[in-house]
Structure 1
Amino acid sequence: MAHTPHYRPCDMVKDIASDYGVHVPYHQAWCGREVAVQDLHGDVRTSYDMLRWYSERVMETNPGSIIDMVVDEETHRFKSYFPCFAACAYGYEVGCRPLIFLDGSHITDKMQGVILAASALNGNDELFTIAFAIADSETYENWKWFLNNLKKALLSGRRTMFISDRAKGLKEAVPEIFPMDHHGYCLRHIKANFMTEAAARYRKALKDSMVKTLNKVAFTLNESCIYTE
């Protein structure tokens, strides 16, 4: 399991039958996989229980970090967690252009949820993570909470360009929390969304032509980009 983290229960059933001639029910293979994953990586619930301890260690070893953990007031259950290490905030300030990419990614384990992230590009055009968060879903409220914490973590007020995929909540939250900054949209996501929404409306040749036109528009210089020596 350590070398094959994506080893599926159905593959385990096939391999055991092929190697040993023994039929193992799918549920039994799934339970065995869960035990192996827990032995290798620990119990997920226990990991969430250790977040307070982890936050204290972060503040001890990386003072100046911004951490915010939200717990439901009634049930006292975990809701969301935001860490921005002081070293990451400093690294973004001194080593990255004022360009921040915002995106979310689904968590596929049994606890579900999403990871919200703010990233930049360093001097080598490599991805540099500024901050991230764990939340229950990608909503306006969660993005607003995330961006408020990100604003606290940034070390200067330099104007920034935010790039996103226009995900639910981002379109409204960015101008609300960063009203003086710019907000652009990822061209790749715009084209992918267009191809999906236009799948049943236009012929392929027409869709391809429209995407080519969109590329030309996106990369066309305007007057402010043209200068003469």
Structure 2
Amino acid sequence: MVKAVDPTISIKVLQGGVKNHFNYKASYKKISLVKQRVIARIYGDWEESYNELSRWLFTMQILDLVQLTQSCFIGFFWTFLPCIGAFKHCKPLISIDSTHLYGKYGETLLMAIAQDGNANILLIAFAVVEGETKEAWSFFLAYLRQHVKPQPGILVISDRHKSIDAALNVEGRLWKPPHAFQAFCTRYIATNFMTHFKNKNLKKVLVNAVYSKSQREFAHYFGCLRGENAAITNYLEKMPWNDSEALAQLQVGVEFSQMLMNVIEFNSKHVNTVNVYQFDRSRTTFTVEELAAA
């Protein structure tokens, strides 16, 4: 039998334990019900856990570790003060996303994620809401700006959910240019592309188009897609490609976007350089030595 108390143990493992110990094959449903009762006896049931939430957050607020906002019940927003402090030193971009919570209550968790200069991620804000709606995202973004205070000209990366787009474009909320810029997640675009066209090779061409560093390079990859299937480019042309990461950041005075920084770093590691060790007074004739890439 399984001796350790581990709520993550799968039903199949428990079924095997019952079979080996008692020589009895219990159904999946029976094992699942027993597991839920044991977890409730040790950790408390859904109602007890839900009632403990407000006390836990109140304690965190007293210890000055969290800022939170409650309302009845549009949503519940919280963020940690160390994350707010760290965000000031991150790149001027955030990714926002949601995930469904499974269990008795089944709300939706909203998150804002930042990234530092070493590409490490930092979770900076959370909210529990009833569903992914315009009102829920507006609630989350309003408190995100109030408590976390994103930098001017920040880039907001998300999927193309209509509720996010509507919330970002509400007048007077400071989530529109020049206060903030919107871009779409490449992984999301590629996943939707596969859903529609189911072609891995063309998916790679699409990703190359998204990460193009010049209009000429983009036109090349986009032309490849158009040559394969005009329906592909018709589908893609509905997306606002001008909201690129590089363009959005350069428009607000960022000297180098993250994409350009990645290119510079790649070139410094893989491109041969030249050492100039002699030149004439007029600097028209040079003697150089080519150095191998690092």
What TM-score bracket applies, with the shorter chain setting the length? 0.7 to 0.9
- Equivalent residue, structure 2, for 1:212: 204
The answer to whether 1:106 aligns with 2:108 is: no
- Structure 1 pair 39/80, CA: closer, same or farther in 2 (3 Å)? farther
Task: Give the match for residue 203 of structure 1.
Answer: none
Of 6, 10, 25, the residue aligned with 1:7 is 10
The higher radius of gyration belongs to: 2
**Superposition RMSD on alpha carbons, in Å?**
2.7
* Residue number in structure 1 paired with 2:24: 22
Q: Give the direction of change, closer, same or farther, for the CA distance of 1:13–1:216 in structure 2 (3 Å limit).
A: closer
Instruction: Specify the code of the residue in structure 2 equivalent to 1:81.
Output: F
Instruction: Give the 3 Å change call, closer, same or farther, for CA 167–6 of structure 1 in structure 2.
Output: farther
Deviations 1:20-61 (A, max 9, x none): 212434443222101222244432322222233233222211
Deviation per CA, 1:60-104: give whole Å up to 9, x if none.
Answer: 1117x43122324xxxxxx531101222111111x3111101111
What is the rounded CA distance, in whole Å, between the counterparts of 2:157 and 2:45 in structure 1? 35
Structure 1 residues 194-205: aligned runs within 5 Å: 194-199=193-198
TM-score (norm 1): 0.79
Q: For residue 45 of structure 1, what is the amino acid of its counterpart? A: E
Equivalent residue runs for 1:142-161 within 5 Å: 142-155=136-149, 157-161=151-155
Q: Matches of 1:2 and 1:194 in 2, distance apart?
A: 43
Contact 2:110 2:129 in 1 (8 A): yes
- Unaligned stretches of 5+ residues in structure 1: 73-78, 200-206
* Equivalent in the alignment of 1:67: 68
Contact in 2 for aligned 1:117/1:131 (Cα 8 Å): yes
Aligned partners of 1:52, 1:40: CA distance in 2, in Å?
A: 20
Match of 2:227 in 1: none
Quick one: distance in 2 between partners of 1:105 and 1:189? 14
SS of match in other structure, 1:166: coil
State yes or no: 1:87 paired with 2:87.
no
Give how far 1:192 is off. Answer: 0.4
C-alpha contact 1:62 1:87 (8 A) present in aligned 2:
no
Instruction: Rate the CA distance shift 1:46–1:29 in 2: closer, same or farther, 3 A.
Output: same
Alpha-carbon distance, 1:187 to partner: 0.5
Which residue is 1:34 aligned to? 36
Q: 1-side partners of 2:150 and 2:38: how far apart?
A: 46
1:58 aligns with 2:60: yes
Identity, % of aligned pairs? 22
Whether the aligned pair in 1 keeps the contact of 2:75 and 2:139 (CA below 8 Å) is: no
> How far apart, in 2, do the equivalents of 1:127 and 1:2 lie?
32
Alignment match, 2:190:
191
Distance 1:40 1:183 in 2: 46
Q: Cα 1:218–1:27, aligned 2, differ >3 Å: closer, same or farther?
A: closer
TM-score where L is the length of structure 2: 0.63
Give the count of matched residue pairs.
211
Whether the aligned pair in 1 keeps the contact of 2:76 and 2:129 (CA below 8 Å) is yes
For 2:28 and 2:77, how far apart are their aligned partners in 1?
37
Q: Structure 2 stretches of 5 or more lacking a match?
A: 216-249, 251-259, 264-294
Structure 2 letter corresponding to 1:220:
S
